[in-house]
Amino acid sequence: MYFWRIAKLKQQMIAQPLSDREVLPYIILASIFAKTYYWYLQDRPIAYFLENYLSVFSILATGFGIYYIYLSNHGTNGRFFLQRYFVIEWVLAIRWTIGVAIGLTIIWLISYADHFQHITPALFYQINCIYDAIAILAYYWLLGRHVHDVALRTSAAQPPELPTV
């Protein structure tokens, strides 16, 4: 994996395309960086970030989730990992966003119901964090399941026979 030497990376990529295994660390690190940077943009002090174990869990779940998806695609024996990961993730993310929004709306409505007035903002935040933790685990599990489905069905499929002349 390269962190700085773009010339060597380009030489390697010119010689032959990177394998799925060689691309995997870049995907994991880019996703973890994006999630951490998103936290930074929320203008919270770093000490609060380290104390908030659910945020740390979310970042770690991202790394392990992507690795789980790689394994669901048959690991080093798998093919087309990037294609399957990004395309299936796009469709699942659209559907998932709507589902999570509905869930958060339900949590919000319940917290403002008359008999739940004792729910403090801190408790609401904790409920939301727990919901987010469950949601991220379910998201990567579903994504892995869909990638595995495609990997399983394509590895068993035979190439079409060409007509004889």
Cβ-contact 62, 34 below 8 angstroms: no
SS3 call for 159: coil
CA distances to 41, 103, 155 from 83, rounded to whole Å, are: 30, 30, 15
| 38: phi then psi, degrees, rounded to nearest 5 | -60, -40
Average pLDDT for the chain: 81
- pLDDT for position 4: 81
Q: What is the mean pLDDT of residues 46-65?
A: 74
What confidence tens digit (pLDDT) does each residue in 112-154 have? 776 666 777 777 777 777 788 888 899 999 999 999 999 988 8
Query: Distance (Å, rounded) from C-alpha 151 to C-alpha 153?
Result: 6
pTM over 0.75: no
pLDDT of residue 120: 72
For residues 69 and 150, what is the distance between their CA atoms, to the nearest angstrom? 12
Per-residue model confidence as pLDDT tens digits over 85-101: 988 998 898 988 898 88
CA distance 6 to 10: 6
